[in-house]
Structure 1
């Protein structure tokens, strides 16, 4: 969560040594994509996650506790929500609602919206803008931005529109802006916004960390 009195976390202290942590927004997004890669096993995901957050040039301890504690800290930073957690919405059958956005598919809309509202070129912020800053700005995108307009189209209930022409226009727009992917439960959006889902990701990584060092 972004603080107005403290700088965003970029380091981790362990046994008197300081280790740099890369928590730029693009690094975190790469991490989220990594967890969706079905071709990698948990150990491979853990190894790649270590490289993302700690880089390739730092000499890291072999102590499994180092990885467990550092990933616990990273998890808290990424999953922290300023206004509490919301339970995932469910349909009448008790199934979690289909995800509303995808950082990959909606990258262009997110980029355009940041530029439109804040005048920020996210391409120039890669490796620099901290995740907590990105997340605060992302959550603050206004209803008139391109990204939020797309979300509104996806959320609108076509069954409540009486005029057949207007209803079909909405369905066509929803089909055009649909989020690709076959999953309907525990989607990337929930993993990105829901602390418990992200914590599950890190729990898997922590299991690997406790089995051995780098």
Structure 2
């Protein structure tokens, strides 16, 4: 999460050497999107993740433990929440699992417009520069009148609590229009993308490939 007393993490120390880590917001978003790509194998995702977070001009060690520890650091930075995760309401009248409410691809235009409207920030000019922790703090601080938060309000509203048939149908149409796929919250998806056991299996695969001389 964002700190007012320490600079955002951009480096990782290993065996006395310092390695640069790219944690710009657009890099993290690309990583999260890639984890949902069903056409990529776990090993391919791991290789692509390394290319995203570590620059090509660095001589990275062959030790799988380097990547295990580095991704532990990256995972903590990406998934840290200042006030903890909200537990799902088990008494929800609809009796359904909390659905994914954010899609950084589909919602890109709304997020861009909201940042520009509230902060005067052109996110296209911040690619490769704005750190993920800065982006996340500003993202979480978007006001209720911004385009993106209005969309979220539509997704979260419970149609069963609306008695007027016309108003209910209007909400259902709006929810259908702004719907995103998936049955997990964005926080769950972020944590799943950086799940330590999944990463460990990728590192084991890397080690096996290197011992066999595979690419």
Q: Same fold (TM over 0.5)?
A: yes
Measured in 1, the distance between the counterparts of 2:159 and 2:97 equals 19
Equivalences for residues 78-117 of structure 1 within 5 A = 78-89=78-89, 95-117=96-118
Counterpart in the other structure of 1:57 = 57
Over 3 Å counting, the alpha-carbon distance change for 1:204 and 1:111 in structure 2 is same
TM-score, normalising length from structure 1? 0.89
Cα 1:93–1:147 change in 2 (3 A) is closer
**Inter-CA distance 146–126: structure 2 relative to 1 (3 Å threshold):** same
Offset of residue 127 of structure 1: 0.3
Say whether residues 1:133 and 2:134 are aligned partners: yes
1:190 alignment counterpart: 188
**What's 1:168 paired with?**
169
- How many residue pairs were aligned? 207
- Greater mean alpha carbon deviation, residues 68-77 or residues 96-105: 96-105
Greater CA drift, 203-212 or 36-45: 203-212
Whether the 8 Å contact between 1:102 and 1:189 is mirrored in structure 2 is no
> How far apart, in 1, do the equivalents of 2:149 and 2:94 lie?
27
Aligned residue number for residue 146 of structure 1: 147
The residue aligned with 1:204 is: 198
Unaligned runs of 5+ in 2: 211-215
Structure 2 match to 1:156: 157
CA deviation profile, 1:55-90 (whole Å, cap 9, x unmatched)? 222110001111111111111111111111223456
1:32 aligns to 2:32 (yes or no): yes
Q: Could you tell me how far 1:187 is from its partner in structure 2?
A: 5.1
Match of 2:12 in 1: 12
1:68 to 1:55, Cα distance in 2 relative to 1, 3 A: same
The Cα of 1:165 is off from its aligned counterpart by 1.7
Task: Provide the alpha-carbon RMSD of the alignment.
Answer: 2.0
The CA deviation at 1:162 is 1.5
Question: Which residue in 1 is equivalent to 2:66?
Answer: 66
Maintained 8 Å contact 2:35/2:193: no
